[in-house]
Amino acid sequence: MAKNKDPQAPSPADDENRKARAKKKGLLFAILAFPVLLGFYATLLWWSSPRTGGQELRLDQYITLLRQGRISSATILETDNRITGTYDRGKYWVAVAAGRETIFARLTSALEDAGVPLKVQQQPLKNLLVPASLILPAFIVVDGFLILFLAFRGGGSDGYSAFGKSRAKRMATGESKITFADVAGVDEAIEELAEVRDYLGSPDKFLAMGAAVPKGILLTGPPGCGKTLLARALAGEANVPFFSISGSEFVEIFVGVGASRIRDFFAVAKSAAPCIVFIDELDAVGRGRTAMAVGGQDEREATLNQLLVEMDGFESGSGVIVLAATNRPDILDAALLRPGRFDRRVGIDRPDVRGREGVLKIHARGKPLAAEIDMAAVAKRTVGFSGADLANVVNEAALLAARRGSTQVEAKHMFEAIERVVAGPERHTRILSPQDRYRIAFHEAGHAVAATALPGTDRVGKLSIVARGHAGGFTWYVPEGDSLSVTRSQLLDRIAAMMGGRVAEEIVTGEFSSGSQSDLEQAGTLARRMVADFGMSTKMGPYIVKPFSNGYQGEMGVGYSERVAADIDAETQAILLEAESRCREVLTANRATLDQLAHALMEQESLEGDALDDLLLNITQTGPTDAAPVGARSVSGSGTGAS
């Protein structure tokens, strides 16, 4: 319900303008005062320095002249700690250390003995130099800090309390140009967020049924899948204030600042209800607490505790909904995920083939596409790509078309862009020796032959010995479709296909090369996951090895004994050796096709389509096996480094 406001009361905008003007005036005054203070201090130092004419005499010289009767007069300068006067050669002065009464007594005694007239000259103005020399530097330092504070603090903030103010950005209605129509591949998440939009637009419909919208919605998923984009789309759809802030902006080195920013953030949100608040990268502030918190860890926990209090303090129907995003939900504090805080968790995964097609079409808006482009075919070639990857593919295709003087983005540009995103740009300037060219051709041919012969692998779509990124060549796999799970035999077959390049080099050249480094890394990782994560080891059985966390204590451990660790290493090595042996059998049985494919690669550098299919047609297929891997990115490469 809106509150009645005094029409004479200043609006928030007028108050902010008044504070901004006061800040500018204060900053201008501080800047003008700084050189004035420096100049005054320099003048003070110059004036405070003793200035007496004549010849400087040492104490021993002065006493000698007194005994010889050559000194005519003497005057003691009280503040300058000097004796001045005249002698037979003109004016003189002698420096006397301050506070040395013994020296003064000796000199005055010598002057009396010599019968020299002596007088003391007081310097009252110079007596003020000592306190002034202490006060002025302090004023200069304070003025310097004041300039820095006024220059760098947020406009409209009240003094040092600016550190405790939240830095949330308020997005006005209609400011966000992104809506749910600009998001594809996450239909379920859109449905969940559309419910929030509908509740804020017409809450009576939900309240009549006794239903309350979730107080908090947590978006989880891998990076680049559209969590932040969904929040921006909700801001464009909702006709209510939308506040956004990053979790890292709550974290500060000063004690208590993080909690203060949390309080200010939610106070602003409550005053603008109904509204939506979005916290990006929640794991920066919501990481699980530990029992032994020291230093900055203790401050971070205080910030998290304040967040827990603020979220649990919302009353039902307050109209404030918290939306948060993270790609690491496993490290969030358990208290943050309980019902009443984040009631609903919306998982956002990489899009399937239909979702990828929709994402590609959205990112292709406004770009001149050739009629020949089939987005469905492009979507099939991008298995495992996130929304950010697909946006990069479309952008790379447009860049390639512009670079080559084309007026339209053609299919060849799209497919080359996919290869650039996965394997990197082509390196035409890398000149290979005949030996390297020969070895890389057989390396890639070995991957293709092994993958084609083994039933659990994906179809080979392209071979190339043109260097891309750090790889000397690559083998492109084209999955038949999206799969949610994979069997042990498929994994073993894929590991064997990864060994194809290494085994082919050994068969043809009689030795291995460093070009198989990336293949061995991928194969080793996959074999270890089979043993430790998937429970596919014949020796260890249905046993998953995971690090453990001791609840609130936050203590992490390996979760298994040294014997189990040794078994994991042994089983992983056994899987790799078995895969290598099976790959060697396959390549030996298809040696003729291997040679033919490698020589065709050396002649044409790249093979795909019908030309590649014809060469792979004569490969002898093997039966199902106990061996194959999980394909993340369907590409395998070779080179001197990682592929």
The residues annotated as belonging to the active site are 444
Helices marked H in 424-542: 434-453, 488-498, 500-509, 517-532
Q: Omega before 274 cis (within 30°)?
A: yes
Residue written as token pair 């040395």: 100
Q: What CA–CA distance (Å, rounded) separates 82 from 356?
A: 91
Tell me how far apart the terminal alpha carbons of the chain are, to the nearest angstrom.
62
Q: What secondary structure does DSSP assign to 217-241, as a single string?
A: EEEE-STTSSHHHHHHHHHHH-SS-
| Residue among 588, 604, 642 nearest 462 (CA) | 604
Question: How far is 457 from 494, CA to CA, in rounded Å?
Answer: 5
> Who's near 546: CB < 8 A, 6+ residues apart?
532, 533, 559
Name the 3-class secondary structure at 71.
Answer: strand
- Give 618-622 contacts, CB < 8 A, sequence gap 24+: 618/590, 618/592, 618/593, 619/449, 619/452, 619/453, 619/590, 619/593, 620/453, 620/589, 620/590, 621/452, 621/453, 621/455, 622/453, 622/454, 622/455, 622/586
Q: Give me 211's structure tokens.
A: 């239903």
How far is the C-alpha of 643 from the C-alpha of 518, rounded, in Å?
Answer: 5
- Name the packing angle between helices 387-403 and 353-363 (round to 10°): 50
Contacts of 604 (CB under 8 A, 6+ apart): 611
Tell me the β-bridge partners of 216. 322
| Contact criterion met (CB below 8 Å) for 358 and 184 | yes
Q: CA nearest 144: which of 33, 45, 44? A: 33
Contact 511, 535 (CB under 8 A): no
* Residue 490 structure tokens: 């498929």
Q: Distance between CA 368 and CA 360 in Å, rounded?
A: 14
- What token pair was written down for 642? 């990682």
**Helices and strands counted in the chain (H then E):** 22, 17
C-alpha–C-alpha distance, residues 501 and 616, integer Å: 16
Spell out a b/e string for 301-324, using b for 16 or more CB atoms within 10 Å of the CB, else e.
bbbbbbbbebbeebeeeebbbbbb
Give the separation between CA 100 and CA 106, rounded to whole angstroms: 10
**Separation CA 568–CA 528 (nearest Å):** 7
